[in-house]
Amino acid sequence: MPDAQISDKSPAAAPVPEKPPIPQAAAPKSGGEKPETESNMYPVGIAGVDIHQSRRDVPEGEPPPLAINDQLKSIGKPTPRVDGRAKVTGAAKYTADVKLPGMLYARMLTSPHPHAKIKSIDTSAAEKAPGVKAIHLLDHTFGMAQEKGEEGNKYPLVRFAGQPFAAVAADTQQHADNAARMINVDYEILPFVTDIEKAKQNDAPLVFAGQAEQKGTAGGGGGPAGLSQSGNVRGPAKGGNKQDGGIDDAFKDADVVVETEYHTSVQTHCALETHGFVADWKPDLLTVWASTQGTGSVRDELAAVFNLPKSKVRVITEYMGGGFGAKFGASNPGVLATHLSKKAGAPVRLMCDRKEEHLGTGNRPSSNQKYKIGAKKDGKLVAIQCTNYGTAGVGTGAGATAVAQNIYPCPAIYTEDYDVFTHAGPAAAFRAPGHPQAAFGFEQSIDELAEKLGIDPLALREVIDQSEARSVERKIGAEKIGWSNRKPAGSDAGPVKRGIGMAQAIWYRSSNRDSHCEVRITQDGSVELLSGVQDIGSGIRTVLAQVVAEELGLKPSDITIKIGDTSYPNGPGSGGSVTTNSITPVARDAAWKVKQEMLKQIAPKLGARADDLTLADGKVASKSDPSKGMSFKAAAAKLDTEQIAARAQRVQDYPVTEDQQQQQPQLAEGGGQRRRGRRGAGSGGLGGVQFVQVAVDTDTGVIKVEKVVAVHDCGRPMNPLTLTSQINGGIIQGLSYALFENRILDRNTGLMVNPNLEQYKIAGAKEMPEIEPIVIEQYWGRSSTDAAGIGEPATVPTAAAIGNAVYNAIGVRVRQTPMTPAAVLAALAQKDSSNGRSA
Amino acid sequence: MSNRTDRGGLSRRGFLKGAGVAAATTALLDRSVEALAQENKESRSVVGPGAVAITLKVNGQHKDFQIEPSATLAEVLRVHADMTGTKIVCDRGSCSACTVWIDGKTVCSCMTLAMDARGREIKTIEGLAQGEHLHPVQEQFIEHDAMQCGFCTPGMIMSCANLLERNKQPTLDDVKQACSGNLCRCGTYPRVFEATLAAAKQMKGGNGNA
């Protein structure tokens, strides 16, 4: 399948399908059709495997079908970032870098206790401290579950160490830091619980005395509403097709049953730029620079908290230093910065420090997953049951059953997720919420099932997996990693043992209809795109330039991309891997519309018909008479007005018929492939398969990941260069999660013992394996670009694949993350003792 | 640690913050001992609290500042010199985002008092390119997409460019060693390695400007 892929090793080698299709607009169907749609033929399928034409009825005014990447000039070509120069010279301005005239610096005050009642707060000394301009106390803590009936208290109840409730603004950071320490708080210290098993017990201190709920963000996270709550245990949130009973009976049909258990640690996001805001309150406009994944989400929350019309709040995110799901809304630092600016009458900068970032701005919840999986002798699944307990601290959303629910069809699936409240910082959406932990448990369990069945893990997945994309991906990856040379588990001689493993991803192709942009052409020949969407590092700025360049026959560097500002048309929040899917069709639609207008105005001046003109290679040219033409710049100069512009908004995914869905299940909306959409425009499944080679030193317990082959799909690949960077990143975060990361709370003090970046270990240069990211090119005919996201699927299977590789190396399962040397040695010792040998 | 009076008035903020931090201890002690010797030689008089006047040579230019003696070089660069390319991420010497060169060697500017950088040659990310002409490492970082969010990028480039000052023909392991202290949460390391090796090749070919 070598021609089905785009590899970063040979980015120029575009795939060549056997029969290059040339999409053509078909004549609208006559009679009985709704007048507002037109019917076109779209390429559908996987390049290098099969691409055929499929009919779609699309809204009128949509651009014509886009050819496959092979036939395009900008889209699908490896394109260096348009903002690369700004980033390598230090010129790129992040929120942390914003400095306004008269700007004040703020510091939050956070609780040193995990559970306490604030009896009084004395700010008198802090008010007199040098340089202090404003102090604000919160009556309510954002970003955590809220207990019903608790509103209206003077001070919030402290429920985790690190909970913010006040902030000081002063002329320098040092003055603000000093003054924050001078605020005198009288705490009534209360009993606490940070250990999940203790928290489940009846006599455990209660985190919430009454019913508590937490809403998710645009990035996901948060638990379902209205679940029952008993003590600190909330749930279950039920999933699967046997929620009303019958799962036990289903196992009677199984020839083989495996029962497994996996545990994952709490991971913190560790974005290098902390959560932070610069708020500038003016009577007629609140302007806020925010390190956020959703400019609109910050605007919306501040407008609600301060009772402002959304039009009076402007949020700017020119560059942001990583979010990974945790940066939505204003939350405590954004609200505090705004209060302080309002009080002080000056702009206020509030950046969390590293400790605050670890403690209070989000994390990936823990999980304790128990599986029971039944199958026939040939591998066909008959029943899947999963019960998971996790803690999202003072938040909700510790679900880890989505992979079991959604990845493989099965006649009987029943899952239960329980949130266990503990006195610990709240979880937040974290790159594929719930999925890396779920894959770690479920995809290793599938390997355990394969072993019990005596079937190769890859062969078993051929039986149980209906995804066409993953089937192609397995073949590519297996060849690259040398799967056929894979040895029996634990069969290497000597202390260092090598192993190969694999695991699969599921993610959801979804988009946000609240995605808008405007494309402008000006008489000087300049072209710009404006949208509120923000570039969180994935490279959407560059992809938007490619899309507009493609449509206008220009180079990406010719296009000025102005994004990350709510003054521009609404952009989607960047969570759920929706950005590319949401905004690239909009960019193409707007560019196409403004092109039509330009050609209409230019045609008479060229003595040609508008529909006979094309834009390509920086020129306007007549298709029928090549002598008629001029440069894009010369044509722009002949526009009737100084500027022309077009707006577009994300349309619903192009509908597919039931027949088409049956032929290609991944076209289906919803189905087995769930996505809690927020103003969603449609969804379907994404795949991804990763293969890993490890070396495990059985004397020291050290796992070294040597090689990763990652084969992914995300519809039409837009920019293979930035796309494969994101895949690398997903793998590296997954590796880090699998081997190193663990938020450790001292159960005796309730404090985090490693709130920094040396004892909270994340993967560094020395731990890097050789990584080969490969992207297949898949078309669904569902939007004008047919693109989808990659950020999340790329991190879903990594820890699971490492787990399976470790098992293949040493013949024993390490059933937890992080798979530390101690955990490896303990697992080996247990195996030895169960074999009757001394450890 | 006593402070101020007996040690030239310098609040050892960086030392206090970092003391006991295993990962950073070695480099820290080196710098502190060096700095102490320098201070003892220069003056035993009390400086601060309150702003003091200092001059730093940054990217070849002398700049005057009024700073608290406890200010780190990273703070002074970012807040006083408005040179925000140098990033502060951990503020305790464990991530290298604040890497600058002092007298040709990489240091964490968050662990270096600005006072200690007096009389030294400081080079920051803003001074790496020569005018419009990017350093080969910068060029190759763009070409190989050795960045995602970009927040670690300046520190990463300062570490990798410094390697090429010392080692014209680095191996992959040399590059990993050179940026082993630079944390990147987006996971861009493989591209950083590729870019730096490509830059070495480019400089060897005589196309570089460094």
Interchain CB contacts (distance < 8 Å): A and B: 173
Q: In the structure, what pLDDT confidence band is assigned to residue B10 with cuts at 50, 70 and 90?
A: very low
Does residue A486 fall inside a structural domain? yes
Q: Averaged over A780-804, what is the pLDDT?
A: 96
Q: List the single best residue of B16, B100, B144, B148 to mutate versus A (max A Cβ within 10 A).
A: B148
Which B residues 181-200 touch A at CB under 8 Å?
181-193
How confident is the model over A292-298, as a mean pLDDT?
A: 97
Nearest CA in chain B to A91: B85
Say what the pLDDT of residue A5 is: 43
pLDDT at A153: 83
Predicted confidence (pLDDT) at residue A2 exceeds the cutoff of 60: no
What digits encode the pLDDT tens for the residues A60-109? 999 999 999 999 999 999 999 999 999 999 999 999 999 999 999 999 99
pLDDT band at B205 (very low <50, low <70, confident <90, very high): confident
Statement to judge: residues B118 and B146 lie in one domain: no
**Predicted confidence band of residue A656 (pLDDT cuts 50, 70, 90):** confident
Partners of B92 on chain A (C-beta within 8 Å) are: 354, 756, 758
| The predicted structure's pLDDT at residue A673 | 30
For residue B9, name the pLDDT band (cuts at 50, 70, 90): very low
- Mean pLDDT along residues A554-560: 98
If you average pLDDT over residues A585-601, what whole number do you get? 98
What pLDDT does residue A835 have?
74
Which is it for the CA torsion A113, A114, A115, A119, positive or negative?
positive
pLDDT number for residue B37: 58
Single-letter amino acid code for the residue at B31:
R
Q: Are residues B111 and B11 in the same domain?
A: yes
What is the number of domains present in chain B?
Answer: 2
- Which residues of chain A make contact with B21, given a CB cutoff of 8 A? 756, 758
Look at residues A384, A495, A510, A392 and name the one whose alpha carbon lies nearest to residue A449: A384
Is a pLDDT exceeding 50 seen at residue A333?
yes
Mention every residue, 6+ apart, whose C-beta is less than 8 A from residue A451: A457, A489
Statement to judge: residues A230 and A331 lie in one domain: no
Q: Which of B126, B148, B173 is the last residue of a domain?
A: B126
**Is residue B88 less than 8 Å (CB to CB) from chain A?**
yes
Integer Cα distance of A779 and A664 in angstroms: 11
What's the rounded Cα separation, in Å, for the pair A130 and A175? Answer: 6
B184 chain-A contacts, CB cut-off 8 A: 272
Q: What is the pLDDT of residue A13?
A: 34
| Domain end residue (candidates: B126, B155, B183) | B126
The answer on A823 and A680 residing in a single domain is yes
Of A90, A321, A722, the CB nearest to B85: A90
In this predicted model, which residue has the larger pLDDT, B30 or A500? A500
**Tokens 């709704």 identify what position?**
A34
pLDDT tens digits for range A699-711: 999 999 999 999 9
Q: Which residues of B, range 41-80, sit inside 8 Å of A by Cβ?
A: 68, 70, 75, 78-79
Domain containing residue B32: CATH number: 3.10.20.30
- Work out the burial of residue A42: count CB atoms within 10 Å of its CB; fewer than 13 is exposed, 13-18 middle, 19 or more buried: buried
**How far is CA A214 from its chain centroid?**
19
Q: Among B126, B147, B177, which residue terminates a domain?
A: B126
CATH code, A295 = 3.30.365.10
Same domain, B156 and B109: no
Position A35 scores a pLDDT of: 54
The CA–CA distances, whole Å, from A39 to A29, A63, A551 equal 7, 12, 21
Structural domain of B45 = 5-126
- Rounded mean pLDDT, A394-398: 95
CA separation for the pair A360, A363 (Å, rounded): 8
Tokens read off for A388: 């998971």
Q: Do A89 and B128 touch (CB under 8 A)?
A: yes
Q: Is there a domain that residue A57 lies in? A: no
pLDDT at A667: 57
CB–CB contact A81 B142 (8 Å) = yes
pLDDT value for A103: 98
Residue B160: inside a domain, yes or no?
Answer: yes
- Asked if residue A825 has pLDDT above 70, the reply is yes
| Cα–Cα separations (whole angstroms), residue B196 to A101, A156, A292, A725, B143 | 39, 51, 30, 16, 11
**For residues A513-531, average pLDDT:** 97
Cross-chain Cβ contact B149/A721 below 8 Å? no
Least confident range from A131-145, A218-232, B35-49, B154-168: namely B35-49
- Tell me, yes or no, whether A530 lies in a domain: yes
Residues A719 and A815 reside in one and the same domain: yes
pLDDT band at A663 (very low <50, low <70, confident <90, very high): low
The reply to whether residue A273 touches residue B128, judged by beta carbons under 8 angstroms, is no
B/e letters for A135-170, b = 16+ CB within 10 Å, e = fewer, are bbbbeebbbbbbbeeeeeeebbbbbbbbbbbbbbbb
Residue of B nearest to A721 (CA): B145
Residue B70 has what pLDDT?
94
pLDDT of the residue at A463: 97
Q: Which of A19-23, A728-732, B47-51 has the highest mean pLDDT?
A: A728-732
Whether B131 maps to a domain, the answer reads no
Residue contact A81–B82, C-beta within 8 A: no
Cβ burial A385-394 (10 Å sphere, 16+ → b, else e): bbbbbbbbbb
Residue A577 pLDDT > 70: yes
Q: Tell me the mean pLDDT in the region B103-117.
A: 98
The verdict on B48 and B122 lying in the same domain is yes
Would residue A660 count as lying in a domain? no
**Residues A282-310: what's their mean pLDDT?**
98
The verdict on B117 and B141 lying in the same domain is no
Residue at B99 is within a domain: yes
Show the DSSP H helices in A577-641 as ranges. Answer: 579-606, 632-637
Give the total number of structural domains in chain A: 4
Q: How confident is the model at residue B208 (pLDDT cuts 50, 70, 90)?
A: very low
Residue percentage of chain A with pLDDT more than 90: 87
Confidence of residue B32 (pLDDT cuts 50, 70, 90): low
Q: In this structure, are B56 and B100 located in the same domain? A: yes
- Does B159 contact chain A (CB < 8 Å)? no
More confident residue, B96 or A140: B96
- A574 has pLDDT over 80: yes
Query: What is the Rg, in whole angstroms, of the alpha carbon atoms belonging to chain B?
Result: 18
pLDDT single digits (tens) A605-621: 999 999 999 999 999 99
Give mean pLDDT, residues A288-310.
98
pLDDT of res. B25 = 42
Which structural domain range is residue A251 located in?
A: 222-269+366-449
- What gap in Å lies between CA A156 and CA A463, rounded to an integer? 54
CA distance A727 to chain B (A): 9
Q: Is the residue at A197 inside a domain?
A: no
ipTM value: 0.93
Evaluate if residue A736 carries a pLDDT over 70.
yes
pLDDT for res B206: 58
Domain identity same for A596 and A497: no
User: What H or E segment, with its residue span, contains residue A382?
Assistant: strand A381-390
Q: What is the pLDDT of residues A17-71, one digit of tens each?
A: 333 333 344 444 444 445 588 999 999 999 999 999 999 999 999 999 999 999 9
Residue A79, classed as helix, strand or coil, is coil
The pLDDT assigned to A677 comes to 37
- Say whether both A621 and A743 belong to one domain: no
| pLDDT reported for residue A327 | 97
pLDDT higher than 60, residue A15: no
Q: Do B94 and A722 touch (CB under 8 A)?
A: no
